[in-house]
Structure 1
């Protein structure tokens, strides 16, 4: 993931934990951090041919990427399971990449 937006998101999260901030400021900082994370994940999922699973990836981003190719995805701790119709289940771990070849999804490390 992009270091710039994620770094900013982490900084905002740290600031939100500060004792000098009001509840309203903490809420605004956390909302901004979440927005930066979503922007980063959406940018990474924009490539229709490949999608790399990372720890920082938001769950719905991977689900949406798979759904765009006609697959269902179930996200769990450390990875996901992907399936279309009666095809065999594809299991991908964090760090692996899902590839779309125009007909089906495959996984590679």
Structure 2
């Protein structure tokens, strides 16, 4: 697990603490969200591969696929990817999306 995810978890715990005011809760939750987004953006920085994780924000695989000319719909358990009239590709959490320079394929999780 990433240390930024650990930090985000700590900020979330503090946000739900009884001592925090509403303004402090919002700030803590926003900071936790920022840390999670930083980790996801780091994971999506490789243009040739993207491993789908349960902690990944939904827009990350959508954006990664769009950069390669595909549409993606992310949801609970994974995502569905399609380009034009090609057959849809379904990938689940734990799978890795691979870009070979022409198309996206899925490396299934063991």
Give the TM-score range, shorter chain: over 0.9
Give unmatched runs, 5+ long, in structure 1.
none
CA drift of 1:3 comes to 1.5
1:60 alignment partner in structure 2: 59
Mapped partners of 2:58, 2:78: distance in 1 = 10
2:90 alignment partner in structure 1: 91
CA drift of 1:28 comes to 0.5
CA drift of 1:75 comes to 1.1
1:79 alignment partner in structure 2: 78
1:14 alignment partner in structure 2: 13
2:69 alignment partner in structure 1: 70
Equivalent residue of 1:91, what SS?
Answer: strand
**CA-based RMSD:** 0.7
Report how many aligned residue pairs link the two structures: 108
Mapped partners of 2:94, 2:22: distance in 1 = 36
Runs of 4+ in 1 over 3 A off after TM superposition: none
Mapped partners of 2:13, 2:102: distance in 1 = 43
Equivalent residue of 2:40, what SS?
Answer: helix
Give unmatched runs, 5+ long, in structure 2.
none
2:30 alignment partner in structure 1: 31
2:101 alignment partner in structure 1: 102
**TM-score if structure 1 supplies the norm length?**
0.97
Mapped partners of 2:79, 2:59: distance in 1 = 12
